[in-house]
Amino acid sequence: MRARTTGILLLLGLMVPALLLLELAWGSTAVPFPEALADLVHGSRGGGISIVRDLRLPQALTAIIAGAGLAAGGLLMQTVFRNPLAGPSILGVSSGAGLGVALVMLAFPLWSPLRLPADLALLAAALAGALGTLMVVMAADRRVGHPATLLIVGLLLGYLCSALVSVLEAAGTATAVHGFVLWGMGSFAGVGMDRVPWLAVPVVVGLVLALAAIKPLNALLLGEAYAHTMGVDAVLVRRALLWCTGVMAGAITAFCGPIAFIGLVTPHLARALLRTSHHGLLLPATILLGASLAMACDLIARIGIAGTVLPLNAVTSLLGVPVVAWVLFAGKRWSSAA
């Protein structure tokens, strides 16, 4: 490994704890680093809610998990579809998960006889929505194959899901709709410490499976036929990796809302930094960078403008759009992911 590559990976690795410390210390109530650390270890001295341990720590952990999962999911989708513009928020996966969430949040009375724990219902519905849209996209990819057509299919699925969501919104109660709209803005703050495992388990499983698939992912860079001649069961691997993506993106969307652009943009930044498409380097770098980007966006949203907290999706989109424009127009060299 060249010195430059090692240096970049090391830097990305250090950015995660650095931003984590900032997340713990920085916010509307300033807590100096030493106090923040003491708070983290001992909890609040007054016995009430500890800002650092009970609010900022779960928010930071959520940002790390969500950022890592979305970024890895984006890279998997870009490689599996051989399409540089693939990503969970582009191909309708987030919308599908959103539809699932809407069914739970807005049509709740219909579900209440089932007596499912709310988190489980939310998670299951979002996963079903995410995987459902992915199956449709996969089937469309088999039939049409053309990268641009695939993006249009994703767009159509997105429209379909939001149409169904607005039907649910029209029928829902004002409180439920308000809650759903807030969810739609995206936030890492809504996941308390007790719910972090609900998010962490599916994402960590997805990340581990993705890391285990580095070798077949590289083979897929050459296309499905070449992967086959290398001994890879390309059909099975592509399907398994999409399931991984669906599980990660579904869980993240369920708890954090449809976070835009992190999944699409992070792999491109990692490629531009490392100048490789080898997944042995690219996947770890994308995971680290995704975690860092999510925390950075969360910090920017938290600092806000003139005392107002910004919607997270506004921040990720404001940062993401220029990168996508750069991929489309200037960054041709980096964009040919496949």
Partner 1 sequence: MTSLLSIDRLTIGHRGHALLSDATCALEAGQMAALIGLNGSGKSTLLRALAGLHPLMQGRVLLEGKDLGGHARRDRAQRLSFVLSGRPRIGLMDVRALVAMGRQPWTGAFGGLGASDQRQVEEALERTGLKPLADRQFDSLSDGEAQKAMIALAIAQDTPVILLDEPTAHLDVLNRVEVLRLLRGIARDQQRCVLLSTHDLSTALDLCDRVLLLHQGALWCGSPHEARSSGRLAAAFQQEGLLFDPVAGILRPME
Contact between 146 and partner 1 (CB under 8 A)? no
Least CB distance from residue 335 to partner 1, whole Å?
7
Query: Which DSSP state fits 188?
Result: S
Please report how the helices 312-329 and 262-274 are oriented relative to each other, as an axis angle in degrees rounded to 10.
Answer: 50
Least CB distance from residue 25 to partner 1, whole Å?
37
CA separation for the pair 210, 287 (Å, rounded): 11
Among 37, 116, 228, 319, binds partner 1 (CB under 8 A): 228
CA 190 to chain CA centroid, Å, is: 15
The smaller minimum CB distance to partner 1, of residues 53 and 271, is found at 271
- Alpha-carbon separation of residue 28 from 18, 21, 236, 301 (angstroms): 19, 15, 49, 11
Q: Residue 316's closest CA among 273, 243, 266?
A: 266
Least CB distance from residue 325 to partner 1, whole Å?
18
CA separation for the pair 87, 78 (Å, rounded): 7
The smaller minimum CB distance to partner 1, of residues 228 and 239, is found at 228
Contact between 209 and partner 1 (CB under 8 A)? no
The one segment of 19-27, 55-63, 171-179, 230-238 that binds partner 1 by CB under 8 A: 230-238
Contact between 336 and partner 1 (CB under 8 A)? yes
Least CB distance from residue 226 to partner 1, whole Å?
7
Contact between 278 and partner 1 (CB under 8 A)? yes
Q: What angle do CA 180, 97, 99 make, to 5 degrees?
A: 55
Residues making contact with partner 1 (CB under 8 A): 82, 212, 214-215, 218-219, 221-223, 225-226, 228-233, 271, 275-278, 280, 333-338
